[in-house]
Chain A
């Protein structure tokens, strides 16, 4: 899993660049080296040749001077000097001399005799132009050095040319040795380049692998991240398109339930530790075909290749089971529940976006419905798009007062007299109609409006309470608060201000907190409950018996009412177990001096049974559905 899918293409490229770079450098150095050496050899050869020829020309000049002074060579003679003239002066012209012209008073004398003397116009032209006094030229593949000399004493001029060999020899030596040196150097350079490039590439690859790992893995949990997920899934689809084998695959979208709450109340350290622990558990599911990823936040993905829906559901159940095992984080024990959405290839989509979106939709549904896991179905999409729509309209709805408070009566079981109400919120949506809290409470809890929303409900409830007081009905109004509201430090002050403004006695307002919410952090809850208590409002624990809290919470929290969850009431008339539980709670609350309210009474049998068990207060459709305040006022007017 550590290896990236993305191939490190830089590997061979880098090596090739290094190799060619080094060899190129060596070739450039060799060219410079050969060039400079060639120039040095040429300069040296030329210098030796010119020194040698100067000596020769001086000797010839002496002979010519002597011939002129003795009158043997004078103006007016024909333009030839016999070769023997030089021999008679003990100077022997060698074979390599190809031109020797002597100029006396504008008359040119050419040496004649048994040699290959010729008149070379190129040399004569160069001399006549007198750009220089000597130089090299090439005639018929022979290198020729020529020299011009003017004799001050008798006004004679000499033009002399001679084949030269030293320079060619020097260049020939140099060419042979330099070629061999270049070959050897080049060969050494290739060796060096190969070895150096390997070392550098290896270092680079190591760095690259590390970078790749960082880019493809989550630094907290060390699970592969979403970049890696895209690659794995897209590669799978690509492969499947190339070789059309009907393979299946499933994506499990895993989301931790109530993670935000843990993060917010226990701090990010605990949240991070929890993520790491969960990631470690998910790693156990990694096989050759099953991959685990951290997508972001508290979202994880398992991508299981060659797995169809039924097998994916088995896998999801296993994941839930494994995650649920108790965890100890910084001394506190946790049981983490997760919600999993499953989307399968090819039935739910044949590209990443579709599969991912559908797994997300299914997860959302699983979370909403507390199902644990849920496979994607088409009808989920409709609900999901509604949720997305609604989440974008919360602020508008709040400003336009589309949230309406309904009131459900709480009664004395014995005489059916209403002693209080529970405020329940509905959304009067302009298009969707009247929406129950199932549709929007979780959206609000996840939004920034959670505090504003609760304050809005309080304001409505207090105003209504005041109305009833003015009409002569002293009813307590219960308002449910979200666990997130426990973090709203200004809530108590707000409540105090509203109560004062509406002149409503504090004990007519009741705050209900669900049991699962109280368990988040008992200290935070206790502190807030104390403040509420000081204000004078009543407190109750809602849905008691369904959450995960222990009995110690009832002991720890100073509340007025315990509301027994409806799940114990549904079968109370027939079920001995439910009866036993309710009786125990009643006894417990009696001992602890807490009042009990039974929720969800729908039939007369339930009511009679509970009355016989000694319950005093109840709430449910049997006594009254949630209704608008006007309807409730009418109900209050009727005899019970």
Chain B
């Protein structure tokens, strides 16, 4: 199987990281305000996926959609 290649640029990664941290904090401390289990689950999934993208620089949706914000310096 082909290893996933980086498809996110720096800005994209940082934005995703910041968003995931914000959502995780929100989900932990304000979960009562959210109130709905389904919504809470979705927020957790979204946060974790974005955190993975932040760490690896690879986004599965970009991969499926054949997109990339990563600019090769060459």
Contact = CB atoms under 8 A, between A and B. Distances in A.
B65 interface: yes
B61 A195 contact: yes
Contact of B64 (A177, A181, A184, A198): A198
Nearest to B33: A176
B65 A180 contact: no
A221 B43 CA distance: 59
A181 B65 contact: no
Nearest to A184: B42
Contact of A187 (B35, B36, B46, B64): B46
A466 to B, nearest CB: 86
A156 interface: no
A173 B34 CA distance: 9
A187 B36 CA distance: 18
A219 to B, nearest CB: 32
Interface string A175-206: 01100110010010001001101100010000
Contacts of A177: 34-36, 39
Contacts of B66: 198, 202
Interface residues of A, number: 13
Given A176-B34, A177-B36, A180-B34, A194 B42 contact: no
Secondary structure at chain A's binding surface: helix, strand, loop or mixed? helix
A176 B62 CA distance: 30
A195 B65 CA distance: 5
Interface string B49-64: 0000000000001101
Contacts of A195: 61, 64-65
A187 B46 CA distance: 9
A22 to B, nearest CB: 12
A567 B63 CA distance: 75
Contacts of B39: 177, 180-181, 184
A352 B46 CA distance: 58
Nearest to B50: A187
A625 to B, nearest CB: 79
Interface string A127-158: 00000000000000000000000000000000
B34 A184 contact: no
A173 B62 CA distance: 34
The winner among A173, A184, A202 for most chain B CB atoms within 10 A is A184
Nearest to B41: A184
A201 to B, nearest CB: 9
A119 B42 CA distance: 51
Q: Which 8 A-B pairs have the closest CB atoms?
A: A194-B65, A198-B65, A184-B42, A191-B61, A195-B64, A180-B39, A198-B66, A195-B65
Interface of B: 33-36, 39, 42-43, 46, 61-62, 64-67
25 contacts: A173-B35, A176-B33, A176-B34, A177-B34, A177-B35, A177-B39, A180-B36, A180-B39, A181-B36, A184-B39, A184-B42, A184-B46, A187-B46, A194-B61, A194-B62, A194-B64, A194-B65, A195-B61, A195-B64, A195-B65, A197-B65, A198-B65, A198-B66, A198-B67, A202-B66
